[in-house]
Structure 1
Amino acid sequence: MLPGCIARTAVDIVTLPVRAGAQAADWATTSQDESDRNYGREMRKKEEREGKEMKKRDKERRRACKEAGYDDCN
């Protein structure tokens, strides 16, 4: 039984750096799914910012129109 334990331990020691390297590479890279998810998140944030800016511009335009004395300021 002892020789089997030693062999198993030796295999674990030899393969440990390979496994650790593979895990580090996995952590360092971005999967396509992750990339797509991040892109979608950024696009939603961008659209939200643009929507807020558009509302702000429209509100300012209507305010300026009313101050100028125009009746139809929609």
Structure 2
Amino acid sequence: MLNNPLLYTDPTGKYEEEGLTPNQQRGLGGLLGSLGYTIKENWGDIKDWLGRNARSTGKWFEKQGEVWENGFQSNIIL
């Protein structure tokens, strides 16, 4: 029978846990906590940086749209 649980035992008796070890879990928790604290304390600077880069990226996309409308699109034959 295929549903017999004794068919799926490991005869060597070796057992390994899957996932992170306790030390890895502590390290990951510390890293995420530190990252969250850093973001919270520096949110004003991060917000300004994101705003500046979003504006410059938006200007770049506007410029690409102008090139597409005036240049490349006129060369396409449909």
TM-score (norm 1): 0.44
TM-score (norm 2): 0.42
More helix by share: 1
Q: Which has the larger radius of gyration?
A: 1
